[in-house]
């Protein structure tokens, strides 16, 4: 008999649209695992996803998900891809006919498929149970236990409440949201002895109340690492976007003592993308959250430390050491540093937007706020891929989505595949040559004034939701006086430091800077923060890996 789960009955979920097959799978599973696991069956992908979401809200564990490949509306691979967002740690099995084995093999890349079983699986003692036993053993041995649900109490139109929810969501911390106006929210406030004016209230899984917590306090209390375990490393990676995660994976896997420092949440702008469809190896696309979580787990597997909610404020040279200083006055040192700080969305300068940020005006928060946009009219500012991906994601539930683009069309800055999808979406429209002139509302966004830049005419529209994806401002202000940057703040490296063939005056070595090396030897840059970078996920990951190769070269010659 398979070993039982440790505590509350953990779930094994099976989904098959054929009622007879569904009952047969559930029967065989109960016979073997019913004493230690709760067997849940569903007869469609949608109903299975609904069941998974309900289990998630209750804080239940799901160990294994078995899905039939041939299902109408949503096949097994499509279902498992969405299930991955709800329970990323669950083991995934696809039930296929012999003719579908090629699809099952493809699913290994799409949904990290753990196994595929050919139907029929009789006798289960030979073809089903050994596979499930191994998967359950692997699941129990892994870090499968989610942090019991943290509770957040706040107001719907509260900027700080929105920031806390986004911080938890992007850091993969399960939480339950309660409005301060609903009975359960009021009960939590009363239990914590907090009035409704000091919000948000966060109650950790252990029952610790946090009133209006800042990011470092929140990170420490919900189990995220915030303090380095050592004082000196081979490599410090600053920034947890694709470039930083790529550098951490390659650095740690090649034996470098590596620590990654992230001020908010791993993934960067890419981590907020609802779907990336042009990333190599994922022909059906992958969400930014999925890609980020896999990369984070991969870096941790190789031994990289990942610190969250640590703001870096300075970079110094102390002999052969490169010292990274934090906002709390502490520091960590290393032989080498990779700057992968990425970029942030530029803020709208239109009157009213600052006051309504987090209260209807959001910067890159489409995933966190999407559920609240159901049936509403949504406006998006921006014409690049991030704006297009957000438009496609929000259009699933919104009444309408309007893209506001300053230029003549989307073709100058958006990938062709996204433009085609937007043109085919019935509830997405594009308003070219249009900008937000001002935002209006009492406590939350209620209206926008839009201006046609060609004619100068303005129009007042009703709007509760505005998502902004404009420009790329490098997060490099803290490097003033440390490394050379261009006039826009992007970091100069390699050939950009030596346009006339001669190193800059600050350069101390006889050799020229390596390709991604900054004006400080041993300090490299990768990804969007680099001057003239490609601003694409794949190129950022590649630069992170290349930077590690150059770190090795630097260390060998030091």
Q: What is the pLDDT along the chain (558 residues), one digit of tens a residue?
A: 344 444 457 999 999 999 999 999 999 999 999 999 999 999 999 999 989 888 875 668 899 999 998 888 888 888 988 888 778 889 999 888 765 566 656 666 656 788 888 878 889 998 899 999 999 998 988 766 554 678 999 998 889 999 999 999 889 888 889 999 988 888 888 888 888 788 999 999 888 899 999 999 999 999 999 999 999 999 999 999 999 999 999 999 999 999 999 999 999 888 878 788 888 888 878 888 889 999 999 999 999 999 999 999 999 999 999 999 999 999 999 999 999 999 988 899 999 999 999 999 999 877 778 888 989 999 999 999 999 999 999 999 999 999 999 999 999 889 999 999 999 999 999 999 999 999 999 999 999 999 999 999 999 999 999 999 997 789 999 999 999 999 999 999 999 998 887 888 889 899 999 999 999 999 999 999 999 998 889 999 999 999 999 999 999 987
Q: Would you state the pLDDT for residue 114?
A: 83
172 & 124 share domain: no
CATH of the domain at 71: 3.40.50.2300
248 & 132 share domain: no
277 & 425 share domain: no
267 & 215 share domain: no
188 & 241 share domain: no
The answer to whether position 279 is within a domain reads yes
The answer to whether position 294 is within a domain reads yes
**pTM score of the predicted model:** 0.73
CATH of the domain at 188: 3.40.30.10
For residue 183, the tally of other CB atoms under 10 A from its CB is 9
Where among 416, 451, 468 does a domain terminate?
A: 468
Q: In degrees rounded to 5, what are phi and psi of residue 352? A: 95, -20
Candidates 298, 289, 290; CA nearest to 250 is 298
136 & 26 share domain: yes
Give the integer Cα–Cα distance in Å for 529 and 489: 8
42 & 161 share domain: no
Candidates 553, 287, 180; CA nearest to 189 is 180
Contacts of 446 (CB under 8 A, 6+ apart): 360, 440, 462, 463, 464
The answer to whether position 4 is within a domain reads no
Q: In degrees rounded to 5, what are phi and psi of residue 525? A: -130, 145
Residue-number span of the structural domain to which 158 is assigned: 150-221
The answer to whether position 374 is within a domain reads yes
The answer to whether position 1 is within a domain reads no
The answer to whether position 227 is within a domain reads no
337 & 248 share domain: yes
51 & 104 share domain: yes
The answer to whether position 2 is within a domain reads no
The answer to whether position 3 is within a domain reads no
In a 13 Å sphere around the CA of 373, the CA atoms on its Cβ side amount to: 30
Tokens linked to 497? 């430091």
- Give, in degrees to the nearest 5, the angle at Cα 481 between 475 and 487: 60
216 & 121 share domain: no
Contacts of 503 (CB under 8 A, 6+ apart): 497, 509, 512, 513
Cis amide prior to 529 (ω within 30 degrees): no
22 & 68 share domain: yes
463 & 540 share domain: no
Where among 98, 123, 141 does a domain terminate?
A: 141
Give the integer Cα–Cα distance in Å for 532 and 529: 9
Domain count, the chain: 4
Q: In degrees rounded to 5, what are phi and psi of residue 194? A: -115, 135
Give the integer Cα–Cα distance in Å for 521 and 509: 8
Give residue for tokens 């991969």.
298
DSSP at 380? E
Where among 468, 484, 507 does a domain terminate?
A: 468
CATH of the domain at 251: 3.50.50.60
- Terminal Cα distance for the chain, rounded: 58
Give residue for tokens 């063939």.
501
Q: Which helix (H) or strand (E) holds 186?
A: helix 183-192
Give the integer Cα–Cα distance in Å for 218 and 208: 11
Give the integer Cα–Cα distance in Å for 453 and 45: 46
Give the integer Cα–Cα distance in Å for 114 and 96: 14
Tokens linked to 15? 């989904």
512-533 CB burial, b ≥16 within 10 A, e <16: ebbebbbbbbbbbbbbbbbbeb
């Amino acid at each position: 008999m398979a070993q039982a789960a440790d505590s509350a009955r953990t779930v094994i979920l099976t989904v098959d649209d054929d009622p007879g097959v569904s009952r047969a799978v559930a029967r065989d599973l109960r016979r073997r695992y019913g004493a230690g696991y709760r067997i849940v069956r569903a007869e469609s992908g949608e109903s299975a996803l609904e069941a998974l979401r309900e289990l998630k809200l209750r804080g239940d564990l799901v160990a294994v998900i078995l899905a039939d490949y041939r299902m109408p509306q949503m096949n097994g691979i499509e279902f498992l891809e969405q299930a991955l967002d709800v329970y990323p740690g669950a083991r995934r099995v696809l039930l296929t006919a012999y003719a579908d084995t090629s699809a099952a093999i493809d699913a290994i890349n799409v949904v990290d498929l753990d196994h595929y079983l050919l139907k029929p699986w009789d006798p289960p003692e030979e073809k089903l149970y050994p596979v499930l036993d191994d998967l359950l053993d692997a699941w129990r041995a892994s870090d499968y236990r989610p942090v019991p649900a943290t509770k957040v109490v706040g107001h719907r139109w509260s900027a700080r409440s929105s920031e806390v929810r986004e911080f938890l969501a992007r850091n993969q911390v399960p939480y339950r949201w309660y409005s301060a106006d609903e009975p359960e929210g009021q009960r939590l406030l009363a239990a914590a002895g907090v009035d409704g004016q000091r919000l948000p209230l966060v109650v950790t899984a252990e029952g610790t109340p946090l009133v209006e917590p800042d990011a470092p306090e929140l990170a420490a209390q919900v189990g995220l690492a915030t303090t380095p375990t050592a004082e000196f490393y081979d490599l410090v990676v600053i920034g947890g976007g694709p470039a930083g995660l790529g550098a951490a994976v390659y650095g740690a896997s090649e034996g470098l003592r590596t620590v990654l420092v992230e001020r908010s949440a791993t993934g960067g702008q890419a981590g907020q993308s609802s779907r990336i469809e042009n990333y190599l190896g994922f022909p059906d696309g992958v969400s930014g959250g999925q890609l980020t979580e896999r990369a984070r787990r991969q870096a941790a597997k190789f031994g990289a430390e990942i610190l969250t909610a640590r703001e870096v404020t300075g970079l110094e040279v102390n002999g052969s050491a490169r010292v990274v200083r934090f906002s709390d006055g502490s520091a960590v040192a290393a032989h080498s540093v990779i700057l992968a700080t990425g970029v942030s969305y530029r803020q709208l300068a239109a009157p009213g937007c600052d006051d309504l940020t987090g209260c209807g005006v959001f910067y890159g928060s489409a995933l966190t706020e999407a559920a609240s946009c159901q049936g509403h009219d949504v406006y998006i500012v921006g014409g690049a891929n991030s704006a297009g991906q957000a438009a496609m994601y929000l259009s699933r539930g919104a009444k309408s989505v309007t893209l506001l683009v300053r230029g003549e069309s989307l073709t100058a800055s958006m990938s062709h595949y996204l433009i085609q999808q937007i043109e085919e979406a019935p509830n997405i429209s594009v308003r070219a040559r249009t900008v937000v002139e001002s935002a209006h509302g009492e406590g939350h966004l209620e209206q926008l004034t839009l201006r046609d830049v060609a004619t100068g005419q303005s129009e007042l529209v009703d709007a509760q939701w505005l998502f902004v994806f404009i420009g790329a401002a490098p997060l490099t202000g803290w490097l003033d006086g440390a490394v050379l940057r261009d006039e826009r703040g992007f970091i100069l490296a390699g050939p950009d430091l030596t346009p006339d063939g001669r190193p800059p005056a600050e350069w101390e070595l006889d050799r020229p800077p390596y390709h991604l090396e900054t004006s400080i030897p041993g300090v490299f840059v990768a990804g969007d923060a680099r001057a003239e970078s490609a601003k694409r996920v794949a190129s950022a990951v590649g630069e992170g890996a290349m930077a590690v190769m150059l770190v090795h070269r630097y260390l060998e010659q030091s």
